[in-house]
A = this chain, B = another copy of it.
């Protein structure tokens, strides 16, 4: 299996306030190509640290992909450092200089002398056009190593990777050759050890494939990697066989495969069945609605929701009976049921889902501990409530509550009979 190493440059990434989304995007995409990501370095504009990062990358991996540091200033060092280590010399490329000149001319601005730097490339490099900014990228292959340099702004980086770099990597026999392929399957419901049991017959074997389980945000990710090996069967068909066996073992517990998300799967099911959804949230405080509306076009099937963070809100907007709240409490099966049927009636939606629980850290008791969550689901002809007990912190419990609510909708839509 060929190996990759990722470098992100940018002083802001070292403050602890900015998530390095570039390296996450690249890790995912390189993994999809069947490359094993050995490590990542995040560096500022310091030449020594950057040199150390590229050295480690070139030592450990077959391809090093770096983002950032392609600008015109003295602090933009990535290209210089990478070319020095690859033993390549930077030369002025007239055509690129012309591109940059005309970029400034179109804006009626003078080109600074420092911008010449952005037109310097080694003769061995493939220069990658930046469709969204000024800094071109670079694909440099020499001997058995490849270095890819991408711009730092995430939009420019992703565009260049998808349009220019991915096709080059796919065709580069140094890297992907017959190679291996990977796939991610997302599971919600059973825990890691339960999944291990369910997959025991599949996990045990495997000289020509690997399976890793990873818990993440309440889901378990199953990452399968298949080598083409010496066998005639391609990695792709091997991957398909494995996926088939995992599907048989886990059934409805599989949320989705590949790039899809839980909210995306629910969206597709709702649209395909022509149904609308409404929600009533208490402890999740708007997170479920946010997950649903993260998707463009969600207004086609999402009516809206009430975040009933007080008892009054539950009464005023959802018609929850004050006696129910008195007798059973805001966190109870009964309240969850009335919340779901209340929002469904007000909204005139086909399906309504409700969440009430104790996210903590305060507010728990012996009888109703932090992590206790009720999820209600109302349809025209049915009303059900599920009790869940999550062990996590406030953020984790809220995430698990929102995802479990979406998942209950998914399961009912899949099991049919979810008609209006």
A residues neighboring B (CB under 8 Å): 11-20, 23-29, 31, 37-44, 46, 48-49, 52-53, 56, 59-60, 155, 184, 212, 214, 216, 221, 223, 279, 281, 285-290, 292-294, 296-299, 302-310, 312-313, 316-317, 346-348, 359-362, 393-395, 398
- Our pick among B38, B221, B296, B302 for the contact of A309 (Cβ within 8 Å) is B302
What B residues does A214 contact at CB under 8 A?
Answer: 11-12, 15, 17-18
Known pairs A13-B40, A18-B214, A299-B309. 7 more at Cβ < 8 A?
A15-B184, A155-B393, A286-B287, A304-B312, A306-B317, A313-B347, A317-B346
CA distance A255 to B40 in the complex (A): 34
User: Are A15 and B60 in contact, CB atoms less than 8 angstroms apart?
Assistant: no
What B residues does A308 contact at CB under 8 A?
Answer: 304
CA distance A44 to B38 in the complex (A): 7
User: Are A316 and B347 in contact, CB atoms less than 8 angstroms apart?
Assistant: yes
Given contacts A155-B393, A287-B290, A394-B296, contact A313 B317 (CB under 8 A): no
Give 15 A-B contacts (CB < 8 Å), ordered by A residue. Answer: A16-B29, A16-B31, A17-B216, A39-B49, A41-B42, A49-B56, A285-B293, A286-B287, A286-B289, A286-B307, A303-B309, A303-B313, A316-B346, A316-B347, A317-B317
User: Are A307 and B307 in contact, CB atoms less than 8 angstroms apart?
Assistant: yes
User: Are B37 and A14 in contact, CB atoms less than 8 angstroms apart?
Assistant: yes
- Tell me the smallest distance from the CB of A210 to a CB of chain B, in Å: 11
User: Are A303 and B293 in contact, CB atoms less than 8 angstroms apart?
Assistant: no
User: Are A310 and B299 in contact, CB atoms less than 8 angstroms apart?
Assistant: yes
What B residues does A393 contact at CB under 8 A?
Answer: 155
What B residues does A223 contact at CB under 8 A?
Answer: 15
CA distance A337 to B59 in the complex (A): 61
What B residues does A26 contact at CB under 8 A?
Answer: 16
Point out which of A13, A17, A212, A216 has the most chain B C-beta atoms below 10 A from its C-beta. Answer: A17
What B residues does A297 contact at CB under 8 A?
Answer: 362
Given contacts A14-B27, A18-B214, A306-B304, contact A290 B285 (CB under 8 A): yes
User: Are A298 and B317 in contact, CB atoms less than 8 angstroms apart?
Assistant: no
- Our pick among B14, B293, B348 for the contact of A40 (Cβ within 8 Å) is B14
- Tell me the smallest distance from the CB of A340 to a CB of chain B, in Å: 16
The 4 tightest CB contacts between A and B, nearest first, are: A285-B293, A286-B289, A16-B28, A16-B27
CA distance A303 to B297 in the complex (A): 29
- Our pick among B41, B53, B288, B317 for the contact of A286 (Cβ within 8 Å) is B288
- Tell me the smallest distance from the CB of A67 to a CB of chain B, in Å: 13
What B residues does A14 contact at CB under 8 A?
Answer: 27, 31, 37-40
User: Are B38 and A39 in contact, CB atoms less than 8 angstroms apart?
Assistant: no
Nearest B residue to A155 via CB reads B393
User: Are B28 and A17 in contact, CB atoms less than 8 angstroms apart?
Assistant: yes
User: Are B25 and A16 in contact, CB atoms less than 8 angstroms apart?
Assistant: yes
User: Are B285 and A289 in contact, CB atoms less than 8 angstroms apart?
Assistant: yes
